[in-house]
Structure 1
Amino acid sequence: MEKWLMLAVSLSLVGVQVNCRRLTNAQIWGFDWKNCGKPDDPAVLKALALSPDPIAIPGDLTASASGATSVELAAPLSVNVTLEKEVAGFWVKVPCVDEIGSCHYQDVCDILNHLIPPGQDCPEPLHTYGLPCRCPFKAGSYSLPQSNFDLPDVDLPYWLTNGNYRVQGVLGGGGKELGCLKLALSLHSN
């Protein structure tokens, strides 16, 4: 599971680049998630809880999660992300711009290595609970007990500052789908 949480956080942080505007006092409402893959996909999320709802950015976040993989998840691990934004009651696919939006990431393991270089300890609370933060992720069950995170101010593209969003990520490796996760959230800034 924490691979999904780390992937979501990692992809969010990777996308925070140039041509962005400062987002302060943003809030996320109505968070929801579900697995969207085949019943025999090897990587599944079993539980994910986030609070408070709405989530304030910047602010404090409490999260717990669990998941499992029946196979080792090793490089190269691709992720195909589809991001949709609700516009006037219709869902519109957000194109991939500067590696943000509906993008295909050829190797998430490489992205994780850039965010958390090999040899560096995993960030808290993953380190405390002995959870991995880079590839390979061994086959088995993973669990993140209820933990607190400090969410800093984040620069986001102006088109991601307000609205309702749906995100789907399909994890792949060796030419096969390994898992699929859908998230729904609303983002509102003051």
Structure 2
Amino acid sequence: MAVTRRSFNVLTALAFVVCFGVGFVSCLPADESPQYKLWANLLKTQTYSNSSNGTMLKMTWKNCGPSDPIYANLVITPETIPIPGKVNISFNATLNVTCDAPLKLEMKVKKKIAATYWTVPCIDNVGSCTYSDLCSMIPYPPSQPCPPPFSTYKIPCHCPFQKGAYHLPLTEIDLPAIPHADGKFKATAYLSMNGEQLACYEADLQFKAR
């Protein structure tokens, strides 16, 4: 299944917080603090992985809201993910509530510099951003049928995500080249609806040129 950069980003964010699927539209406001300017310069001037050999991503993740109404078990192989390249994804997810607009996603991202993890501010919709309306960012409008593999396994691809259990068997996906900064990161994602937390997930990520 070929996936465009925008749709892959959306699906990744949704899968990470278990509403199945990081195209982004809204974010925390920038400020003029020295810390913000420092991060802006670091993110704009550092070397991004554009080598012909691509990048390898190592990722581990865990549920940080075990009593939340959404829970999922996501499996990605191989353990070290090639970008670009092919990966296999499967998941089992349980939604104890119907998820509908407004769905809010809050991302907290930290990058390791020397021995310390520093918070990455929201810059150009990347970093520790808040996305106030996930439903509006999904590239599949409710008026159109969901593409495979969603349609194959009766998994919704747009809001509302109905209460129930969903399963995606091992499915191969082509990952495109995605600009990013090399290094080690920690990320936490909080999904909420009308002020109620629906899911929380934490991930450790390491990007390294091949």
Instruction: Mark yes or no: TM-score above 0.5.
Output: yes
Distance 1:128-1:23 versus aligned 2 partners, 3 A rule: farther
Contact 1:64 1:147 in 2 (8 A): yes
Residue type of the alignment partner of 1:101: G
For the pair 1:142 / 2:166, whether they are aligned, the reply is yes
2:68 to 37, 41, 52: 41
Q: Which residue of 2 aligns with 1:56?
A: 82
- Calculate the TM-score normalised by the size of structure 1: 0.82
For the pair 1:73 / 2:99, whether they are aligned, the reply is yes
> Gapped runs of 5+ residues in structure 1?
none
- Taking the aligned partners of 1:3 and 1:99, their CA distance within structure 2 comes to 13
Residue type of the alignment partner of 2:103: L
How many equivalent pairs are there? Answer: 176
Residue type of the alignment partner of 1:189: A
- Taking the aligned partners of 2:142 and 2:163, their CA distance within structure 1 comes to 20
- Taking the aligned partners of 2:192 and 2:75, their CA distance within structure 1 comes to 25
Deviations 1:111-158 (A, max 9, x none): 11xx2233233343222212111111111111111110011122x2xx
Distance 1:27-1:137 versus aligned 2 partners, 3 A rule: same
1:179 to 181, 192, 199: 199
Contact 1:161 1:189 in 2 (8 A): no
Match of 2:136, SS?
A: helix
Contact 2:190 2:197 in 1 (8 A): yes
Contact 1:6 1:133 in 2 (8 A): no
Larger CA Rg, structure 1 vs 2: 2
Match of 1:23, SS?
A: coil
Structure 1 vs Structure 2 CA RMSD = 2.5
Q: Which residue of 1 aligns with 2:15?
A: 5
Q: Which residue of 2 aligns with 1:122?
A: 146
Q: Which has the higher strand share?
A: 1
Q: Which residue of 1 aligns with 2:50?
A: 23
